Chain A
Amino acid sequence: MDPPLVDATSFSAANPPSYTLSEIWPFSAIDGDPAGSGGVAGAGLGLRVGNLGPGFGERDGSAEESTVTEQSGGGGGNVKKRRDLSSEEESSKLVSTTVSGSELNGSNGKRQKVSGNRNEINNPKTETETSSATNNKPAEQSSTQSEPPKQDYIHVRARRGQATDSHSLAERARREKISERMKILQDLVPGCNKVIGKALVLDEIINYIQSLQRQVEFLSMKLEAVNSRMNMNPIIEGFHQKEFGAQPFDATGLMFGSQATREYAQGSQAEWLHMQVGGGFDRAA
């Protein structure tokens, strides 16, 4: 999967006369698609260029695979970005071969460049030196398009290729979601902000939910006792009307009531709970 191998095989097989490339390439790099621009340049340069079209297409595919392994360490992007990158890189490759005259030197130089600065593959110096000014425009455009996602996602796992890459992207998004939710939960549960570690935080959350559920059970026991013992209908009606009116004073009234009668309520709950425990035993037996 090394770039020089792909370059050596497909390059020599597809186009033996490599000198024409220096003339072809500035045209074909304008729209960034070698296969498509082969036809455009073919009108100007004749039959030989037309033969080069499929060769370009093939090499685009193979070079894409090879460059993905090199670049995916830098980050995960979409397919289009990679195609841009690979075509741009290929352009630099081709130009450098024409300049140096030997394929091996050119590919080596390119490879050093790729390993040296991965983030700035789009603006190779050999390309700016050798090719015309029109060649730089698409390179800059593609670099501006592809750099923001690169900075957002930096993975270690994204080294294997495209499928793993998108998967790890999704994985990362999921992780972020989970930690976000955990933060929300931490804010909800009192005293949970000081706890460090997800497992401990979840323990706190579980304890809190359990305590709330127990409180609900206890309160429903209490309500059952109160409800069956007394004749509560007037209170219910009053409460109900107040609730319908939704005026603030009912809440204050409830608060005052709760503070005044807390003692009595606790006292009555104690004896009443014994009954409930007895009931539970009876049911179990």
Chain B
Amino acid sequence: MSPQRLSLNPRSLKSRFTKGFLRSLRKIHKERPTSTSPREIFQRYRKVKTAADKSLASAVGSGRAWSRAMLCKCKNQGKRRPVLVRRINNNRAMKRSELTEKKSGDDDEEVGFDQASGLRKLVPGGQAMDLCRLLEEAAHYIKCLNTQVQVMRCIADCYTT
């Protein structure tokens, strides 16, 4: 762990994510939360979480399918339109069922259906990928999640001093 932290490249994903995340954290902080009601706290937590996801996705860029899906999700989350969300979900479900019908013979013999669908749910935008792509995106997503956790832990530890 420690040698990875020591080498910090300004162009690296880690520093780009840190920059973006700190910027959005400062923005959240500037809103000056006055109330300490649980609902407010929860909303602020959602904001921080969305900021973390968004800055990670934008640090990765639009080259990856999962980051595109994550950016799209963050955008939709801010707007809060239940009808639209439901329609999109229906579309996705439809596409998914088509895909599974088409590919069930191929994919399910490779790995169990439960595992593949579980992985699809976890990787953002994984509903519309075939298995090969899904595995590739999952590998990259795991790397980026690791980076995200490292950086966020660093920042949190730095704050609590």
Does A181 belong to the interface (CB within 8 Å)?
A: yes
Does B8 belong to the interface (CB within 8 Å)?
A: yes
- Is B49's CB under 8 angstroms from A250's CB? no
Q: Which residue of B lies closest to A283 (CB)?
A: B42
- Is A220's CB under 8 angstroms from B33's CB? no
Residues of B within 8 A of A268 (CB): 160
- Is B149's CB under 8 angstroms from A185's CB? no
Residues of A within 8 A of B138 (CB): 185, 205, 209
B interface majority secondary structure: helix
Report B1-46 residues with CB < 8 Å from chain A CB.
Answer: 2, 5-10, 15, 18-19, 22, 25-26, 28-29, 33, 37-39, 41-42, 44-45
- Contact check: which of B22, B112, B123, B139 meets A188 at CB < 8 Å? B139
Does B155 belong to the interface (CB within 8 Å)?
A: yes
**Tier of interface size on chain A:** 35 or more
**B64–chain A nearest beta-carbon distance, Å:** 14
Stretch at the interface among A23-31, A76-84, A91-99, A195-203: A195-203
Residues of B within 8 A of A265 (CB): 156-157, 160
Does B152 belong to the interface (CB within 8 Å)?
A: yes
- Is A248's CB under 8 angstroms from B39's CB? no
- Is B139's CB under 8 angstroms from A185's CB? yes
- Is A232's CB under 8 angstroms from B119's CB? no
**B2–chain A nearest beta-carbon distance, Å:** 6
Stretch at the interface among A33-41, A59-67, A120-128, A221-229: A221-229
Stretch at the interface among A110-118, A133-141, A151-159, A234-242: A234-242
Q: Which of A215, A221, A224 has the most chain B CB atoms inside 10 A of its CB? A: A224
- Is A212's CB under 8 angstroms from B41's CB? no
- Is B139's CB under 8 angstroms from A223's CB? no
How many angstroms from the CA of A184 to the CA of B110 in the assembled complex? 16
- Contact check: which of A198, A205, A233, A261 meets B29 at CB < 8 Å? A233
- Is B22's CB under 8 angstroms from A255's CB? no
A interface majority secondary structure: helix
How many angstroms from the CA of A151 to the CA of B19 in the assembled complex? 53
Residues of A within 8 A of B88 (CB): none
How many angstroms from the CA of A46 to the CA of B154 in the assembled complex? 90
Stretch at the interface among B79-87, B94-102, B129-137: B129-137
Does A174 belong to the interface (CB within 8 Å)?
A: yes
- Is A227's CB under 8 angstroms from B142's CB? no
- Contact check: which of B6, B106, B115, B146 meets A206 at CB < 8 Å? B115
Residues of A within 8 A of B136 (CB): 181
Digit string of B111-124 for contact with A (CB within 8 Å is 1, else 0)?
Answer: 11001101100110
Q: A184-B139, A228-B33, A258-B157 are in contact. Are A223 and B38 (CB under 8 A)?
A: no
List the 7 closest A-B pairs by CB distance, nearest first: A279-B38, A181-B135, A258-B157, A202-B115, A246-B10, A219-B152, A212-B145
Known: A198-B110, A244-B10. 15 other contacts (CB 8 A): A178-B132, A202-B119, A205-B119, A206-B119, A212-B145, A213-B122, A223-B159, A226-B160, A227-B25, A243-B19, A248-B6, A251-B6, A261-B160, A264-B160, A283-B39
16 contacts between A and B (CB under 8 A): A174-B132, A175-B110, A178-B135, A205-B138, A206-B119, A226-B160, A227-B25, A240-B22, A243-B18, A246-B8, A247-B8, A248-B7, A254-B5, A258-B153, A258-B158, A278-B38
